[in-house]
């Protein structure tokens, strides 16, 4: 496994733990639809949230959340439409970003309704 993939998995686990501690149920991790992937799908009450997780060693080149591109947003939205249809979700939805900087301890920011 390459180091970027390993870092991504560490970041996603930190994000999942962070979300569970805030009352979210984790429904899916690394949900794939065609060429799209959603890092985490969580639910809290009648709200279904699609999370993009960005984990960086430092912010020398920008904050983690700055690395969510327009194309990535399009892919997440396409995959979310498929997921919503697949489970026949009728409640509210939201798209959030979890930005994590690797520090001791890690610095985690949750951007609600990010796109």
In tens, the pLDDT along 62-113 reads 888 989 999 999 999 999 999 999 999 999 999 999 999 987 788 999 999 9
CA distance 43 to 92: 10
CA distance 109 to 114: 12
Q: Mean pLDDT across the stretch 50-57?
A: 93
Q: Determine the pLDDT at residue 1.
A: 63
Q: Determine the pLDDT at residue 62.
A: 82
Three-class SS state of 94: strand
Q: Mean pLDDT across the stretch 32-57?
A: 96
Q: Determine the pLDDT at residue 5.
A: 78
Q: Determine the pLDDT at residue 8.
A: 82
Between these two residues, 4 and 79, which has the higher pLDDT value?
A: 79
Q: Considering the domain delimited by 3-111, tell me its CATH architecture.
A: 3-Layer(aba) Sandwich (3.40)
Do the Cβ atoms of 55 and 11 come closer than 8 Å? yes
Do the Cβ atoms of 25 and 45 come closer than 8 Å? no
Count of helices and strands (H, E) across the chain: 2, 5
């Amino acid at each position: 496994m390459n180091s970027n993939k390993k870092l991504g998995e560490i970041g996603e686990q930190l994000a999942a733990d962070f979300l569970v501690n805030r009352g979210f149920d984790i429904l899916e991790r690394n949900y794939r639809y065609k060429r799209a992937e959603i890092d985490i799908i969580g639910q809290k009450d009648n709200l279904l949230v699609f999370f993009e997780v960005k984990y960086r060693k430092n912010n020398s080149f920008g904050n983690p959340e700055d690395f969510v591109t327009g194309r990535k947003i399009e892919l997440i939205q396409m995959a979310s439409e498929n997921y919503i249809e697949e489970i026949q979700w009728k409640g509210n939805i939201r798209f959030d970003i979890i930005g994590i900087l690797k520090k001791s301890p890690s610095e985690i920011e949750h951007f609600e309704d990010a796109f």
